[in-house]
Amino acid sequence: MTAILDEIVAYVQFDDRDRERLLGLRTNLEPHFPAIADRFYSALWANPGTAAMLSSPAQVERLRLTLIDWMASGLTGVFDDEFYEKRSRIGRRHVQIGLAQHYMFTAMSVVRTAYLDQIIAMYPPEVALLVARSLDKLFDVELALMLRSYQLDSEAKLVERERQIQADRIAAIQTLSAGLAHEVRNPLNAARLQLELLERRVKRTSDDPKLREPTALANQEMARLGALLDHFVHFARSPDLRRSDTDVTALARNVIDLERPVANVASCELVFDDTTGVHANVDAGKLHQILQQLIRNAIEAEARRVTIATRADDDYLYLEVTDDGAGMADAVRARVYDPFFTTKDTSVGLGMSIAHSYVAMHGGSIDIQSSPNGTTIAIALPR
Ligand code: ADP
Ligand code: MG
């Protein structure tokens, strides 16, 4: 997580001497922090664009304390996890309140000038220059981190928009499927009934295979159509989410046991990476479906071994299905959630769109990593 911070710090060539100078400066500046904070906030108030972001005196007082802590922690020159966490929080806050990026630079300039005024007053000129140089590095690290918060936010928004487009597309085709299945079902049933009557009459009047064969074939085709219709209906039916406290470990083990005969036929081994009993407030039926689809796809990708892992933290349930199968080409990867997209001869191409739709209903996310050595599908669902 802090690899990026390490990179920034190394890039500006911040070293132990910089750290020493900043620590010395910190001791000298500490008594002036409140005055510098006042200067910072009078500049904020003086500018209509930033003054509009300030609401109450209580808020300003909170911000003042945050700023003083920011000054004190920055001047230690210690760039560790805690520093990164603090800066990330402040950055996220800037993004949240919609602070325009140019204000980060103007506001930092005010603090920088306030620091420099003190440095000029406190140090002999040659030393002042070196301290200012170290300070510049610190400020650039701070600014780089602040910019990154905006970048992370726009990336997250892009991913979210992509997900929403995909979910909308699936929903549209679900509606179409529902209508189509409904309209086709009745005539198909009627035709099947008539065919049955015809078969019986043919049987009664002759046992000529030339007459029987076509009806048998027609029957077969109608059965196929019926099965396809079942897929449609299943895909179209998107009942509301029914969350309940679910023993995910038990559920996963159950799905794996049910799929094992299919796997055995394909000489594929299913491995449950079993952590301690994982519970989550999810729709058990849909979770079952998701896992089943992922496992079947892995087996159908000619995997020798499929590992299913379930984990959880405070906020999320994580499901991971890893296979050592054929993997997906980029072109497949790009269309994998499209309803009816399949690369298989006798498949319908609904598995991944159903999984996507169920995950979206939970407010979760799916991530696919694939190479010619295999595929990992990782799902995160809010608990
Ligand atoms: P279907 O399994 O009916 O083809 P899916 O929606 O389940 O439909 O999957 C769509 C396509 O995505 C598959 O045809 C296959 O090409 C690809 N795919 C899905 N899962 C995997 C996997 N684990 N490994 C390789 N390819 C996969
Ligand atoms: Mg499938």
Question: Any idea which ligand is nearest the CA of 342?
Answer: 1
Q: Which residues line ligand 1 (CB under 6 A)?
A: 293, 297-298, 301, 323, 325-328, 332, 336, 341-344, 347-353, 375
Q: Name the more confident of 340 and 108.
A: 108
In the predicted model, what is the mean pLDDT of residues 149-169?
86
Average the pLDDT over 215-235 and give the result: 86
What is the value of pTM for the model shown?
A: 0.66
Position 347 scores a pLDDT of 86
Q: What is the pLDDT of residues 66-118, one digit of tens each?
A: 999 999 999 999 999 999 999 999 998 899 888 999 999 999 999 999 999 99
Q: Is the pLDDT of residue 206 over 90?
A: no
What is the bridge-based pairing of β-strands 269-273 and 305-312? Answer: parallel
pLDDT tens digits for range 160-192: 888 888 888 888 888 888 888 888 888 999 999
pLDDT score, position 340: 86
The alpha carbon of 335 and the centre of ligand 1 are apart by a number of angstroms equal to: 10
Task: Give the amino acid at 262.
Answer: V
pLDDT at residue number 237:
65
Query: Rounded to whole angstroms, how far apart are CA atoms 20 and 166?
Result: 53
Best of 320, 336, 346 for a ligand 1 pocket test (most atoms within 8 Å of beta carbon): 336
316-323 and 374-382 strand pairing: antiparallel
Residue 238 pLDDT: 65
- Closest residue by Cα to atom 25, ligand 1, is 327
> Which residue's C-alpha comes closest to atom 16 of ligand 1?
343
Q: Closest ligand 1 atom, CA of 293?
A: 7
3-state secondary structure the chain: CCHHHHHHHHHCCCCHHHHHHHHHHHHHHHHHHHHHHHHHHHHHHHCHHHHCCCCCHHHHHHHHHHHHHHHHHHCCCCCCHHHHHHHHHHHHHHHHCCCCCHHHHHHHHHHHHHHHHHHHHHCCHHHHHHHHHHHHHHHHHHHHHHHHHHHHHHHHHHHHHHHHHHHHHHHHHHHHHHHHHHHHHHHHHHHHHHHHHHHHHHHHHCCCHHHHHHHHHHHHHHHHHHHHHHHHHHHHCCCCCCCEEEEHHHHHHHHHHHHHHHHHHCCCEEEEECCCCCEEEECHHHHHHHHHHHHHHHHHCCCCEEEEEEEECCCEEEEEEEECCCCCCHHHHHHCCCCCCCCCCCCCCCHHHHHHHHHHHCCCEEEEEEECCEEEEEEEEEC
Looking at residue 239, its pLDDT comes to 67
What is the per-residue pLDDT across 246-275, written as a single tens digit (0 to 9) for each?
A: 999 999 999 999 999 999 999 999 999 877
Q: How many angstroms separate the alpha carbon of residue 164 from the centre of ligand 1?
A: 21
Query: In one letter, which amino acid is 293?
Result: Q
Tens digit of each residue's pLDDT (9 = 90 or more) over 4-34: 999 999 999 999 999 999 999 999 999 999 9
Ligand 1 atom closest to the Cα of residue 327 is 25
Residue 199 binned pLDDT confidence (cut-offs 50, 70, 90): confident
- The mean pLDDT of the chain is 91
Res. 207: pLDDT tops 80 = no
Percent of the chain residues past pLDDT 90, beyond the cut:
63
Whether the pLDDT of residue 1 is over 60: the answer is no
Share of the chain above pLDDT 70, in %: 99
Q: How far apart are CA 105 and CA 110, in angstroms?
A: 9
Apex 74 CA angle, 70 and 80, nearest 5: 110
> What integer is the mean pLDDT of 28-53?
93
